[in-house]
Amino acid sequence: MRSPKLIHLMGILAMVLSPAWVTLSGLSSVRAQSQPGELLALNFPSAPRNLGGPRSTAGGGVRGNGNDSCIEGESPLTPLMPTHDIVKTVTPNPEFFMYVPKNSADSGEFVIVDGNGNDVYLSTFELSEAPGVVKVSLPANTGLEMGKVYDWQFSLICDPSDRQADVFVQGQIEPTELTEEMQTQLDQAQPLDQVQLYVDQSLWNEAVSLLAQFRNSNPTEWQGLLKYVGLENIASEPLPIQTIGTSQN
């Protein structure tokens, strides 16, 4: 079992920050008419000058002294979601997307911890040799409870005999109920309109998960969304090169 307090203390001491996270609630919804199944263009206005509080995505932290980092090159391990705020989700088994750079890690690990420090989900896995975006898909039986805050952590295990050498990213997520009004809007909306609705409600996991499905057919929209939130350096990376979490250990 892992203590959430311990996880976050390590993060505060070791986490290296990457580009600033931008609040997305200012995006306007797309109202154009379309045929069923047609993808509409997302509207990405200029980023506001006042970015508000300390919202950011996080590059990989390293426990201990960080002398044994297994990242090769300058690109950090990066989650495609905020890590300095509690992220809301309307899905009991949400998906997580991580950019995994070229590395020499022995394996990877993804863990979700509840408020009592218990592992709700734990998966260890082999990593692809190629850099790219990895999708962590939680099994249906994970059953995160609505209204509870969970800690998550994605780690590259550089040295199995010394977990202090792990490279990791971490954050918090809280499942929440989808309102009837929001559900009605989603039911009546086309795919990219749905992405816009998720973005307007700060439901980042749902927005990324849905837009990722259309990344190959609508690469401009995917790249535009990541660039808007300061992740232009990974906007063109392969997605997904690997899907993790089809079974629970």
Q: Give the chain's length.
A: 249
**pLDDT(55) > 60:** no
Q: How far apart are CA 127 and CA 125, in angstroms?
A: 6
Yes or no: say if 95 and 198 are a contact pair by the CB < 8 Å rule: no
The mean-pLDDT minimum among 30-34, 122-126, 189-193 falls in 30-34
- 36: closest CA among 187, 208, 180? 187
The model's confidence at residue 61, banded by pLDDT at 50, 70 and 90, is low
pLDDT tens-digit map of 148-193: 999 999 999 999 999 899 999 999 999 999 999 999 999 999 888 8
Report CA-CA distances (Å) from 44 to 53, 200, 221. Answer: 21, 12, 9
Q: How far apart are CA 238 and CA 105, in angstroms?
A: 19
pLDDT tens-digit map of 187-223: 999 888 898 888 888 888 898 999 888 888 878 888 8
- The pTM of this model reads 0.74
